[in-house]
Amino acid sequence: MRMSGIRVLDAFAQAYVFVFRGSPLLVQIFLIYYGLGQFRPTLQEWGLWGFFREPYWCAVLALTLNTAAYASEIIRGGLQAVPHQQVEAARACGMSGFLLFRRIVFPIAVRQALPAYGSELILMVKATSLASIITMMEVTGIAAKLISQTFRAVEVFVVAGVIYLILNFTITRIIMAIEWWLSPHLRHPPAVKPALDAVHV
């Protein structure tokens, strides 16, 4: 929307990104869960209470809105980093519209944006630890509960940390694999066997 050139859409996207990137995720989760919880009659009228009643969906909504704001800026950065020359070259070859986007702009933009988006994914995994404040029992929540039962803070938190590490290790490997697949120009070209036959002819 920021790149559409339509002023209303641009303003809307800017405001959205400003709000969700500018305020702490913790506050957003609180507002969505406890804040909207106070407007139960209205939400029931709209048939949305079933959704907002569950802490799980509130957490998912808060995390989605938050990560969407960051991701939209990352993708915008990627799209804007596509060199003009390449677009012009594509135009010269007769591509336009969707074809141009699919073949040239999109693959390059994704390649540019991927490392930043990978960090965002990792940040999101870690941000799920905030969901325990709205009674969602995720890794950190369960860790806190175990500590209260056993009073062994160090051991439990080390294990919780390792779980996050494993999750994030998997994600970084996947992102690295995609990056490798998307950047053939950075890899060594396969060694070409000298065409000896041609000499003998």
CA–CA separation, 83 vs 176, rounded Å? 23
Nearer to other proteins, 33 or 70 (CB): 33
Nearer to other proteins, 10 or 54 (CB): 54
Q: Which residues contact other proteins (rule: CB under 8 A)?
A: 34, 37-38, 40, 53, 55, 132-133, 135, 137, 141, 144-145, 147-149, 151, 153
Nearer to other proteins, 96 or 135 (CB): 135
CB of 130 to other proteins, least distance (A): 12
CB of 150 to other proteins, least distance (A): 9
User: Exposed, middle or buried by CB within 10 Å (0-12, 13-18, 19+), for 113?
Assistant: buried
Nearer to other proteins, 16 or 56 (CB): 56
Q: DSSP readout, 41-91?
A: HHHHHTT-HHHHHSHHHHHHHHHHHHHHHHHHHHHHHHHHTS-HHHHHHHH
CB of 37 to other proteins, least distance (A): 4
**Maximum Cα–Cα distance for the chain, whole Å?**
88
CB of 34 to other proteins, least distance (A): 5
Nearer to other proteins, 37 or 77 (CB): 37
CB of 168 to other proteins, least distance (A): 25
Categorise residue 136: left if φ over 0, alpha if ψ from -120 to 50, beta otherwise: beta
Could you give the 3-state DSSP secondary structure of residue 183?
Answer: coil
